[in-house]
Structures are given as C-alpha cells and as structure tokens.
Amino acid sequence: MTAALEVRGLRKSFGRLPALRDIDLAIETGRVTAIVGPNAAGKSTLIKCILGLVRPDAGRITVLGQPVGNDPAYRHAVGYMPQLPRFPENLTGREVLAFLADLRGGDEPDEELLGRFHLEGALDKPVRALSGGTRQKLNAVVAFRHRPPLLILDEPTASLDPVASGILKDRVRHDAGAGATVLLTSHVMAEVEELADDLVYMVEGTVRFHGTLDSLRLRTGEKRVERAIAALMKEAA
Amino acid sequence: MSAAMKVLGFGLQNQLRSRWILGYALVFALLTDALFRFGGSGPRVVVSLLNVVLIMVPLVSVVFGTLHVSSAREFIELLLAQPVGRPSLYVGLYLGLAVPLAAAFAIGVSLPVLLHGGAGTPGLGVLLVAGVLLTFVFTSLAFMAGVRFDDRAKGLGVALLGWFAATVLYDGLVLLAATLFADYPLEAPMLAFALANPVDLARVLLLLRVDAAALMGYTGAVFERFFGSSLGVLAATGALLLWTAVPFLLGLKGFRRKDF
C-alpha cells in the first residue's frame, strides 16, 4: 500500500500556543480515516495544513507524492468540504458551481450527487435564499464533483437531514471503494463507526492513536467505538 | 485565462447583482443631476462634487473593502483549497471589488453630465480620475486592514479611523501646524503633508486643473507654486499610484503569510 497522504514532523504554534507538536502520519490510499479528539486537539489545524490554509512552522506534507507548499497544483487532487459553507450571496448555486469548475479546469464534472440530492430546482435561486441544509448539500457537491483522489470532509453530515446524510455516506463509501482516500472529522461516533476504516485520535496537538477500528476495539476491550474512544480519553488523562 | 482573471470575473458578476453597488452609482447620479439642476454651470458642479467625492469615495471604499475581506472569509478559505495560488486570488479579489466600485462612481457621475450636455466641463475628467484613484487607494488600504485583523469589527474600526484621519483630522492638524509655525518657512513641510495624504493629493490634483485657487487650501497653494500646473498633476497622480501600490503589496504580503 502506498500512502496518499504523508505528514512528517509537522509543527505549528499560534503565538505561544502550540497547536500541533510533531505530527507524523501516513494515510494509505483508499482508506477512510476519521480524525477524532476533544476540542482544541489540533484536528482543524492539521486539516488546514494539508489544504495549505495554515502554514506549518516545521515539517512537510505530501499529497499523492506532491509537496504541499507554494505551488497550488497538488490541490487538483483534493476535494474539501468545510464545516460552515458560505457562498457569495448574490449568485445562484449554478453560477458558483460553474465558477469553481472553471477555476479547477479539468474533466466533465460528476453530477451524480447533484441529482441524488434533488438540487436541480434550487440551483437557480440566489444562494442567500437557500436553507442551511441546502447550502450544505451544495457544499458536498463542490467537494465531490471533480472526483478528487483525496477528500477532506469537516463534519460532513452536521447540518444534513437523515436522508441527505445517508446519500452522502453512501457516496463516501462508494468513492473509497473506487480508490479515493477520505479524511473526515466527526463528533458523531456512530458515523465514525459506520464510515471509517481507520481512526486517528488526537489530543493536545499530538496523535495518540492511529489504527483500524478493529485494532482500537482490541486495544481498549470495548466493542462500541464510542466506548473505545472514551477509554482512550481516560488513558490519555 | 489566468486564475486571477477568473476570480475577478466572478467578483464582477457578484457585484453587478449587489444592490449596494447599484445604490452607490445611483447616489452619485442623483447628486450630479441635482447639482446641474440647481447649481447651473459645469465648473461649479465639478467643484461641489469634489467635496462629496473626497469624503464619500474613501468612506465607501473603506467600508466595502474591509467587509469584503472579512465577510467572504469562509468563501476565501474554500477558494484557497482549490488549485489557485494566493497572489492570484488576492489580485482577483481586489480588482473584483475596486473595479466595480470605481465603475459605479464613474458611471454615476458621467450619465447626468452627458444628459445635461456638460461633457466638455473643465476639470470633469480630472474629477473622474481622482475619484477612481481614491477608490483604488482606499480599497487597497481596506484590504490591508481586512487581512491584518481577523476580527471583523476591529478591521472595520481601524479602517474607519484611517478614513477619519485622512479626511477630517488631517486638515485640522495641517492648519494647526501652519498657525503654530507661522513664523517659519513652511513650503517644504506643507508639500510633504500633501504627499502624505491621498485625500489631499486628490484635492490638489483637481484644483490644479480647475481655476479655483481660493479653494485650494494651504497645501494646494504650496503645491501649485512649487510644481506649476502640469508637473504638479504628474506628481500628485504618481503619489496616488504609490498610495495604491504600497498598501496593496503590504496586504498581499500579509495574505500570503496568513493562517486561515
């Protein structure tokens, strides 16, 4: 197995506050990995470093063999679904999608998710008229539309209804089956249990556990992921 | 087409739908029209407009500029996660606001002028140039503040303070200095004062072109005596361009290093 994402010696502080302390991480191709941990564990900072939104103090990151740095080319391989999507209010969803597709260039976009979410009708309304859930669906479409080999999903199902959330999870499993690597954060442990192959547990800017869900169960002696993570938290304390 | 141009095109598309930009153009159109109806002749309209332009263009540019950077924060993050370099994105975002603002001002003023047959009015072209330059100057200052301060209120506050200093406080301070040091030769310091404030520069630029010596104020009078008309115009324009470029580059530098 080759690593889709490699993080070596990653360090980042905000002022005097350390956010990441020497992170080493290798995510294998085609795996769905959930990053979990308490607030301020460094999950967001790690994701933002991978996306190039935050500049690390030290260390290096490679995405599919391409270095993360000033050259934005590697982001052709990355699809990002932020937690709180905001799109320009005056434009329609269709215009936003067209602009982002134009910016990325490349192949004919994949409209499967668009169809399954039944977004066609909403696409011609200005974004400001869309509900939070509809915006989140649009957000998901943006992330998956170009079939990126690396998907980064930040609390992907947070404001989706159960039906939409199910559609999105199906898509995540489908893409992972087709060889995409998925990195997601979630506070819903049932979702982690349903979606993830592997789990990364972070505390205070360090990775405390990285392995398959089964190895987590084995290590903690708990069957449910929620209980297992609670056991990890106690271990860390 | 480069990424910067794509971002610019998208910004233009967005601003064209914005009621604020249309309202901004409309305000200038109504004002210019009213001045023609009540004030009569072209040159007087230009001078009356000048005072509005000097206050309003910087104010609107500063407010729109800081809000543009801070309120689009989440969308900027999404754009940064696309295969686009930060400099391209910054250029596109900046022009995507400065160009429609400048166009709204220029079109808003020009339409009523053409309607009233005042196209040949002396000073009109310079007024338009001054307004457009001020838009670019204050938008780039606002972007710099917006990039520097994550807190929306703080960025807007600092930018408004800058606007207040440049439009209101500055003249008072210059006058105070002139009175306090009335016994000394003040030409060189006054010249420096004028160059150090983009609003003053715009005023000087226009008044050098319109024969309105009485309205020139202290710095303007010194400027004309020092440079003569043509050279003065060149110097003032050059200084305004510098006032656009320097904050723009500082903002870009901050944007490249920023953690989102």
pLDDT per residue over B137-172, tens digit each?
Answer: 999 999 999 998 888 888 889 989 989 998 888 888
What does the mean pLDDT of chain B come to?
Answer: 87
Question: Counting beta carbons within 10 angstroms of the beta carbon of residue A108, is it exposed (0 to 12), middle (13 to 18) or buried (19 or more)?
Answer: exposed
- Mean pLDDT is highest, among A82-86, A230-234, B102-106, for B102-106
Q: Which residues of chain A are within 8 Å of residue B7 when distances are taken between CB atoms? A: 103
- Residue A150 pairs in a beta bridge with A78, A181
Task: Name the pLDDT band for B196 (thresholds 50, 70, 90).
Answer: confident
ipTM of the complex, rounded to two decimals: 0.90
What does the mean pLDDT of chain A come to?
Answer: 91
Burial call B77-115: b when 16+ CB within 10 Å, e when fewer: bbbbbbbbbbebbbbbbbbbbbbbbbbbbbebbbebbee
pLDDT for B223 equals 66
Cα–Cα distance measured from residue B8 to residue B17, given in angstroms and rounded to the nearest whole number: 15
Task: Name the pLDDT band for A123 (thresholds 50, 70, 90).
Answer: very high
Q: Across residues B86-101, what is the average pLDDT?
A: 95
pLDDT of residue A236 exceeding 70: no
A100 touches chain B (CB under 8 A): yes
Cβ pair B66, B145 in contact under 8 A: yes
Instruction: Please compute Rg for chain B using Cα positions.
Output: 19
Cα–Cα distance measured from residue B32 to residue B29, given in angstroms and rounded to the nearest whole number: 5
Cβ pair A192, A225 in contact under 8 A: yes
Task: Name the pLDDT band for B118 (thresholds 50, 70, 90).
Answer: confident
Cβ pair B78, B157 in contact under 8 A: no
H-assigned helices in A105-161: 112-116, 132-144
pLDDT for B153 equals 86
- Please state the pTM of the whole predicted model: 0.90
pLDDT for B72 equals 84
Shortest CB distance from B75 goes to which of A54, A86, A152?
A86
A144 touches chain B (CB under 8 A): no
Partner-chain contact B85 A74, CB within 8 Å: no
CATH T-level assignment (fold) for domain A3-85+149-236:
Rossmann fold (3.40.50)
Closest CA to A126 of A96, A100, A88, A90: A90
- Residue A63 pairs in a beta bridge with A5, A66
Measured CA distances, A153 to A81, A116, A194, B21 (Å): 5, 19, 15, 35
pLDDT for A120 equals 87
pLDDT for B232 equals 74
Contacts of B254 (CB under 8 A, 6+ apart): B144, B147, B148
Give the dihedral sign, CA B13/B14/B18/B24. negative
pLDDT for A14 equals 93
Q: Across residues B172-187, what is the average pLDDT?
A: 82
Q: Letter for the amino acid at B54?
A: L
Q: Which residue of A has its CA nearest to B260?
A: A53
Partner-chain contact B260 A87, CB within 8 Å: no
pLDDT for B176 equals 87
Residue-wise pLDDT for A155-197, tens only, equals 999 889 999 999 999 999 999 999 999 999 998 898 999 999 9
A126 touches chain B (CB under 8 A): yes
Both tokens of A21, joined, read: 């302390």
Q: Letter for the amino acid at B93?
A: L
The percent helix, strand, coil of chain A (3-state, each to 5) is: 40, 30, 30
pLDDT of residue B218 exceeding 70: no
Partner-chain contact B78 A142, CB within 8 Å: yes
Cα–Cα distance measured from residue B107 to residue B113, given in angstroms and rounded to the nearest whole number: 10
Q: What is the phi/psi pair of residue A111, to 5°?
A: -100, 15
pLDDT for B234 equals 83
pLDDT for B96 equals 94
Partner-chain contact B77 A53, CB within 8 Å: yes
Residue-wise pLDDT for A198-223, tens only, equals 999 999 999 999 999 999 999 999 99
Residue-wise pLDDT for A135-146, tens only, equals 999 999 999 999
Q: Across residues B97-107, what is the average pLDDT?
A: 96
Torsion of Cα atoms, B124 then B125 then B131 then B132, to 10°? 160
Residue-wise pLDDT for A15-67, tens only, equals 889 999 999 999 999 999 999 998 889 999 999 999 999 999 999 999 998 99
- Residue B106 pairs in a beta bridge with none
pLDDT of residue B3 exceeding 70: yes
Partner-chain contact B7 A85, CB within 8 Å: no
Angle value at C-alpha A3, between A12 and A152, nearest 5 degrees: 60
How far is C-alpha A111 from the geometric centre of its chain's CA atoms? 20
Q: Letter for the amino acid at A34?
A: A
- Say what percent of chain B tops pLDDT 90: 47
A233 touches chain B (CB under 8 A): no
Task: Name the pLDDT band for B22 (thresholds 50, 70, 90).
Answer: very high
- Say what percent of chain B tops pLDDT 70: 92
Question: Counting beta carbons within 10 angstroms of the beta carbon of residue A40, is it exposed (0 to 12), middle (13 to 18) or buried (19 or more)?
Answer: middle
B→A contacts (Cβ < 8 Å), by residue, are 3, 6-7, 10, 13-15, 17-18, 72-75, 77-85, 257, 259-260
Residue-wise pLDDT for B240-258, tens only, equals 999 999 999 999 999 999 9
Cα–Cα distance measured from residue B30 to residue B28, given in angstroms and rounded to the nearest whole number: 6
Cβ pair A207, A200 in contact under 8 A: yes
Half-sphere exposure of B245 (CA within 13 A, CB side): 6
